[in-house]
Amino acid sequence: MNIPTRVRIIDVGPRDGLQNEKQAVPSEVKIGLVQRLQDAGLREIEVTSYVSPKWVPQMADNHAVMSGIARQAGVRYSVLTPNLKGWEAAVADRPDEIVVFGAASEAFSQKNINCSIAESIERFAPVVEAARAAGVAVRGAMSCTVGCPYEGEIAPERVAYLAGLMKGIGVQRVDVADTIGVGTPLKVQRAIAATLQHYELDAVSGHFHDTYGQALSNTLAALELGVWNFQSSVAGLGGCPYAKGATGNVATEDLVYLLHGMGIETGIDLDKLVDAGAYISDFLGRKSGSRVAVALLNKRAGQGTPDLIAASACL
Ligand SMILES: CC(C)(COP(=O)([O-])OP(=O)([O-])OC[C@H]1O[C@@H](n2cnc3c(N)ncnc32)[C@H](O)[C@@H]1OP(=O)([O-])[O-])[C@@H](O)C(=O)NCCC(=O)NCCSC(=O)C[C@@](C)(O)CC(=O)[O-]
């Protein structure tokens, strides 16, 4: 076992978390969320995406959000850019990192970005080149590395193929995404191992949705392989508009609780993170998707400690 002692978390809540929200979330609320996440100690935040507003209307205010955030030294702000048009709009807003996003599944690639895997790489290549020439870091999101809503199970060879293509065009690090949260630990480990054929461990992150309640188990499986970069979404927000029925990412609060409980350092203040989750959940008018946050908020409200509630349930 090669469990790391420190983990870096990218909170993708403002982007992945909110992109699928039906109600319009004002730019000020998104900016307030980014502020609270950095106050809680997050050092990487995925802020928005420069995609077609017809495809993802919630991200149409990308410029307002990126220009409205109060940047803090040492925090990396990333944005999604699927093509040169997205890059050209994004670069004016000075992201620290851009994310090109492909899929290990042909059908998902078509549904999500309207092109084949091969075409997507052709579109990404000039984006990557321009970003690197401008000194902007480049990450590649790899969707459907375990399962696809249209094609079912995805073989690790297809993940290795995509990772190789990403590497070939100069993408510096990649996310192994279980977009629809169907993965289980061994399948996730196989997808990561396939990615490691092309990328160093330090350049691989886990991005697990929690649709089937497996995200923390999958995190542990990734930790066992030494992975130390993870993406999560405060309050468990989110889902992809082109993966119907898939729920949000693993909640950042749940991830931090797990990691701190294992003695793994994150640099994140869990109480402040719970406040950030409460802020956005209150705005959306619903309970947090984080079980840790709900337990800690109940505890704060004096409704008993989670330990006592659990004990009384056994009586
Ligand atoms: C990629 C495209 C644009 C291709 O869409 P397309 O229709 O093939 O593009 P096009 O080049 O033919 O252009 C069509 C129209 O879109 C405009 N357009 C073209 N590009 C842009 C741009 N960058 N920004 C703004 N507008 C753009 C373009 O100007 C034109 O406008 P019109 O003339 O009709 O008015 C489209 O499919 C799209 O926007 N898809 C967005 C998909 C998306 O954001 N999905 C969610 C994020 S991925 C995800 O959540 C998964 C992830 C990353 O979290 C990991 C995981 O869990 O799996």
Q: Give per-residue pLDDT as tens, 289-312.
A: 999 999 999 999 997 655 544 444
- Ligand 1 centroid vs 170 CA: distance in angstroms? 21
- Ligand 1 centroid vs 157 CA: distance in angstroms? 27
Most informative mutation of 11, 50, 52, 145 for ligand 1 (most atoms within 8 A of CB) = 52
- Whether 85 lines ligand 1, by a CB cut-off of 6 Å, is yes
Residue 287's domain spans which residues?
8-314
Q: How confident is the model at residue 304, as a pLDDT? A: 61
Q: How confident is the model at residue 315 (pLDDT cuts 50, 70, 90)?
A: very low
- Ligand 1 centroid vs 82 CA: distance in angstroms? 6
pTM across the whole model: 0.95
Q: What's the CA dihedral at 54, 286, 238, 183 to 10 degrees?
A: -140
Indicate whether 313 pLDDT > 60: no
- Ligand 1 centroid vs 243 CA: distance in angstroms? 15
Is 27 among the domain residues?
yes
Catalytic choice (115, 144, 240, 314): 240
Instruction: Please check whether residue 49 is in contact with residue 59, taking contact to mean a CB–CB distance below 8 angstroms.
Output: yes
Is 155 among the domain residues?
yes
Q: How confident is the model at residue 314, as a pLDDT? A: 38
Residue 240 falls in the annotated catalytic set: yes
| H or E segment and range at residue 123 | helix 117-133
Q: How confident is the model at residue 310, as a pLDDT? A: 46
Is 3 among the domain residues?
no
Q: How confident is the model at residue 108, as a pLDDT? A: 97
Is 95 among the domain residues?
yes
Average pLDDT over residues 121-148: 98
Indicate whether 208 pLDDT > 90: yes
- Ligand 1 centroid vs 69 CA: distance in angstroms? 24
CATH code for the domain of 308: 3.20.20.70
Is 140 among the domain residues?
yes
- Spatial distance between the Cα atoms of 163 and 157, rounded to a whole number of angstroms: 10
Q: How confident is the model at residue 307, as a pLDDT? A: 55
Identify the CA nearest to 191 among candidates 249, 148, 144, 229: 144
Q: Give per-residue pLDDT as tens, 106-121.
A: 999 999 999 999 999 9
Q: How confident is the model at residue 244, as a pLDDT? A: 77
- Whether 101 lines ligand 1, by a CB cut-off of 6 Å, is yes
Average pLDDT in the chain: 95
Is 2 among the domain residues?
no
Is 1 among the domain residues?
no
Indicate whether 15 pLDDT > 50: yes
Q: Give per-residue pLDDT as tens, 84-105.
A: 999 999 999 999 999 999 999 9
- Whether 56 lines ligand 1, by a CB cut-off of 6 Å, is yes
Could you tell me what percentage of the chain is helix, strand and coil, using 3-state DSSP and rounding each to the nearest 5? 45, 15, 35
**How many structural domains compose the chain?**
1
- Whether 112 lines ligand 1, by a CB cut-off of 6 Å, is yes
**Could you identify the atom of ligand 1 that is nearest to the CA of residue 83?**
23
- Whether 114 lines ligand 1, by a CB cut-off of 6 Å, is yes
Q: How confident is the model at residue 137 (pLDDT cuts 50, 70, 90)?
A: very high
